[in-house]
């Protein structure tokens, strides 16, 4: 018993260290990955194999994909090549073996909303992002690059290449398999590294350049666009449904023959944002509706008194 408090504090501290989670207000922005000055992620092969088998165990994938074969296809695409000299098609044997159909009405794309999109997708239980599929899950947040010399990869530095084909190719395979209603979460209060406002629908994004053009028109019913605004940004927003870059997206989609439904800050996503910021002014309407402890106690007392009086 005496050991409980220190132990629970230790566990709490450890959990915070491992997850890196804080009570900071949720951002719709992108989680930072490894920097370009570092090389291939240490233990890449072990992480790849562990994630690959773990994912299949979790989702009961059947028939099982052989993760060692998958690693060979992945490693073969870039190893013993110059780091910036890998073609997108080199990864195709890997994606062909690792990509499955996404369940109908589940596909979710994101652009500028990495953190919120993944909190909401719930590791694929609510919606499926690319990172909730086998290839995306295996490689998310990792870094790698080839080297013409043994062992075939560079573990000290990966240059910032103009051509980085892995994620665009992953997005292509993922988008080609979307069916039914699809969803995209965009950031209506997006800012660049210097803090300047950016478009929610960026024409240079992977969503615009790769995912939209890869959709199979005959398999898609509706594209639902969710425009998310940070809790601390004041309306009116210049980037919202029908305004700014969203009207451009509207035109592109109707020209391509897609049905689009755009919503600003759908309530379920506002609630998701409020999970981490319950006292933000936009969240307090929810918080203040919760019965206070005193109210519960007084109600209970009233019921007891009324029961006693009625019994007399």
The site for ligand NAD (CB under 6 A) is made up of 30, 109-112, 114, 129-131, 136, 140, 164, 167-168, 171, 205-207, 211
| Cβ distance to ligand NAD smaller for residue 83 or 283 | 83
Residue given tokens 């109707």 in the structure block: 254
Closest separation in Å from C-beta 175 to ligand NAD: 8
Closest separation in Å from C-beta 41 to ligand NAD: 13
* Torsion sign, CA atoms 53, 59, 64, 69: negative
Closest separation in Å from C-beta 114 to ligand NAD: 6
Closest separation in Å from C-beta 85 to ligand NAD: 15
Closest separation in Å from C-beta 225 to ligand NAD: 13
Number of C-alpha atoms within 13 angstroms, CB side, residue 246? 26
| Cβ distance to ligand NAD smaller for residue 79 or 111 | 111
| Cβ distance to ligand NAD smaller for residue 70 or 128 | 128
DSSP conformational letter for 147: -
| Cβ distance to ligand NAD smaller for residue 33 or 50 | 33
Which pair of tokens denotes residue 100?
A: 């499955």
Closest separation in Å from C-beta 141 to ligand NAD: 7
| Cβ distance to ligand NAD smaller for residue 140 or 273 | 140
| Cβ distance to ligand NAD smaller for residue 113 or 240 | 113
Beta strands in 88-147 (DSSP E): 108-111
DSSP-H helix ranges across 215-292: 245-255, 267-275, 284-289
DSSP conformational letter for 191: B
Q: What distance in Å separates the CA atoms of residue 127 and residue 107, rounded to the nearest whole number? A: 6
Phi first, then psi: give them for residue 131, nearest 5 degrees.
Answer: -75, -10
Residue 180: which region, alpha, beta or left (left: phi > 0; alpha: psi -120 to 50)?
Answer: left
Answer for the pair 99, 132: CB distance below 8 angstroms, yes or no: no
Q: What distance in Å separates the CA atoms of residue 204 and residue 116, rounded to the nearest whole number? A: 21
């Amino acid at each position: 018993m005496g050991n409980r408090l220190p132990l629970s504090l230790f566990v709490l501290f450890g959990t915070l260290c491992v997850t890196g989670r804080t009570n900071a207000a949720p951002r719709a922005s992108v989680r930072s990955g490894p920097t370009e000055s570092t090389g291939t992620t240490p233990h890449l092969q072990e992480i790849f194999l562990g994630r690959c088998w773990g994912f299949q165990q979790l989702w009961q994938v059947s028939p099982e994909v052989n993760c060692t074969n998958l690693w060979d296809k992945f490693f073969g695409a870039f190893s013993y090549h110059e780091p910036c000299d890998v073609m997108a098609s080199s990864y195709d044997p890997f994606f062909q073996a690792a990509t499955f159909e996404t369940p109908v009405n589940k596909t979710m794309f994101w652009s500028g909303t990495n953190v919120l999109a993944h909190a909401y997708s719930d590791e694929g239980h609510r919606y499926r992002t690319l990172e909730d599929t086998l290839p995306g899950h295996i490689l998310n947040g990792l870094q790698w690059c080839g080297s013409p010399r043994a062992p075939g990869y560079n573990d000290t530095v990966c240059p910032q290449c103009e051509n980085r084909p892995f994620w665009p190719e992953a997005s292509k395979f993922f988008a080609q398999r979307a069916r039914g209603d699809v969803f995209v979460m965009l950031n209506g209060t997006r800012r660049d590294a210097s803090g300047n406002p950016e478009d929610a629908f960026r024409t240079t994004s992977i969503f615009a350049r790769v995912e939209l053009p890869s959709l199979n028109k005959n398999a898609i019913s509706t594209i639902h666009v969710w425009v998310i605004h940070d809790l601390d940004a004041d309306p009116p927003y210049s980037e919202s449904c029908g305004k700014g870059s969203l009207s451009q997206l509207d035109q592109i989609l109707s020209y391509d023959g897609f049905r689009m439904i755009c919503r600003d800050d759908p309530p379920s996503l506002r609630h998701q944002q409020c999970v981490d910021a319950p006292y933000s002014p936009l969240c307090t309407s929810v918080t203040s509706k919760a019965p206070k402890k005193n109210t519960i106690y007084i109600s209970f007392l009233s019921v007891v008194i009324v029961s006693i009086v009625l019994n007399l």
